[in-house]
């Protein structure tokens, strides 16, 4: 039977490349594991990857810095909105101090009876730290973040919807939801797949904001990727979704480190069905210790290396 294991990665359209690196590496302490470029289209745009210590699926945040190209998006409803990251439950005080010290405005919020921290990426994208116990993914201790406070990985994705019933129907009938974990006011949490962590889909009813943009544009979510384990299962998941009538789904795309299929959900969020490439994944072109130290290009762009580097915003790591 077809299945979804849990999350794989999240991809965001941010503004500047350097401010993005500084935010994820120097403030959040995440590990930069890959520097490459966007596979789609003809514009040379960075694709930057950040993760926990091991680069586990379910721990990776990736970004496209679009400001250099003049592409800007609009956050709104019917769109993925919040990047939900899992941190040790007793680390929230540390993170509140650290974010404040780095001049990142941070607020305490309560969701489903639990304290969380809400803050924003420099481009405006909403981030939320969710405290968890029993999450055994190993965080990356970087730039003064101690191991006991480091980010485990992804907790899930927050999606804003004008008509939640259609998104719940999709999750429960077509996307392997294991049921609703909690409901509170205009918010509901669902579990996707059987993974122990990283698989929360949180829906917020939002009928006040305008429709958010779906294309590439700084300041917006682009997609959330779910781990479907292997290529055969990926085909089966795709066929199941298409069989339910959701035919706004892509053909298979080879992203070098993983293979992907994309589906536009009825709640507007773009979901990806991802399979880590069997021939090494992140380590197909760099050793585990070297991850993120060299600028990588897909083979079809290698002959344009000097041109592409000259057109990209210089970044210091």
CATH of residue 248: 3.10.180.10
Please give the structure tokens belonging to residue 255. 């992203």
- Residue spans of beta strands (DSSP E) within 164-236: 177-184, 187-192, 200-205, 220-227
Please give the structure tokens belonging to residue 60. 């990776």
Question: CA-based Rg of the chain, rounded to a whole angstrom?
Answer: 18
Task: Say what percent of the chain tops pLDDT 90.
Answer: 90
**Residue 92's CB: how many other CB atoms inside 10 A?**
20
Q: How many structural domains is the chain composed of?
A: 1
Sequence-distant (≥ 6) Cβ neighbours of residue 91 within 8 angstroms: 131, 148, 149
Cα 266 from chain centroid?
19
**What confidence category does residue 203 fall into, taking pLDDT thresholds of 50, 70 and 90?**
very high
CA distance 88 to 150: 7
The answer to whether residue 1 is domain-embedded is no
Beta-ladder partners of 116 = 109, 130
Stated pTM of the model: 0.96
Q: What's the chain's average pLDDT? A: 95
Q: Which domain holds residue 285?
A: 6-310
Closest among 25, 135, 157 to 91, alpha carbons compared: 135
Over residues 50-64, the pLDDT tens digits come to: 999 999 989 999 999
Q: What is the pLDDT of residue 148?
A: 97
The answer to whether residue 125 is domain-embedded is yes
Instruction: Give the mean pLDDT of 116-141.
Output: 97
Edge-first strand order for the sheet with 153-161 is: 107-111, 114-120, 126-132, 79-88, 153-161, 200-205, 187-192, 177-184
Which of 45-49, 195-199, 307-311 is predicted most confidently? 45-49
Q: What is the pLDDT of residue 114?
A: 96
Over residues 247-306, the pLDDT tens digits come to: 999 999 999 999 999 999 999 999 999 999 887 789 999 999 999 999 999 888 899 999
Over residues 133-175, the pLDDT tens digits come to: 999 999 999 999 999 999 999 999 999 999 999 999 999 999 9
Q: What is the pLDDT of residue 238?
A: 97
The answer to whether residue 315 is domain-embedded is no
Q: What is the pLDDT of residue 161?
A: 98
Residue with tokens 């039977």: 1
């Amino acid at each position: 039977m077809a299945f979804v294991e849990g999350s794989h990665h999240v991809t965001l359209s941010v503004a500047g490349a350097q401010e993005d690196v500084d935010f994820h590496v120097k403030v959040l302490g995440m590990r930069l594991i890959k520097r490459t470029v966007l596979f789609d289209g003809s514009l040379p745009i960075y694709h930057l990857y950040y993760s926990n210590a091991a680069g586990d699926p379910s721990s990776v945040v990736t970004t496209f810095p679009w400001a250099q190209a003049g592409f800007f998006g609009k956050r709104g409803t019917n769109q993925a909105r919040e990047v939900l990251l899992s941190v040790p439950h007793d680390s929230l005080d540390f993170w509140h101090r650290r974010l404040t010290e780095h001049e990142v405005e941070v607020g305490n919020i309560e969701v489903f009876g639990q304290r969380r921290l809400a803050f924003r990426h420099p481009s405006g994208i909403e981030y939320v730290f969710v405290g968890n116990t029993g999450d055994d993914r190993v965080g990356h201790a970087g730039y003064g973040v101690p191991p006991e406070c480091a980010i485990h990985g992804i907790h899930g994705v927050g999606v804003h919807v004008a008509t939640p019933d259609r998104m719940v129907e999709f999750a429960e009938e077509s996307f392997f939801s294991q049921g609703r974990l909690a409901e509170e006011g205009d918010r509901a949490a669902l579990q996707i797949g059987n993974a122990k962590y990283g698989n929360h889909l949180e829906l917020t009813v939002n009928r006040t904001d305008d429709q958010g943009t779906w294309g590439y544009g700084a300041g917006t979510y682009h997609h959330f990727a779910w781990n479907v384990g292997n290529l055969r299962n990926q085909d089966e998941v795709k066929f199941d979704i298409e069989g339910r009538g959701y035919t706004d789904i892509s053909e298979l795309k080879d992203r070098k480190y993983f293979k992907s299929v994309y589906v536009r959900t009825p709640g507007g969020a773009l979901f990806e069905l991802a399979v880590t490439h069997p021939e090494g994944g992140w380590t197909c072109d760099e050793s585990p210790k070297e991850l993120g130290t060299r600028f990588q290009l897909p083979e079809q762009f290698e002959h344009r290396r000097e041109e592409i580097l000259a057109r990209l915003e210089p970044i210091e790591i």
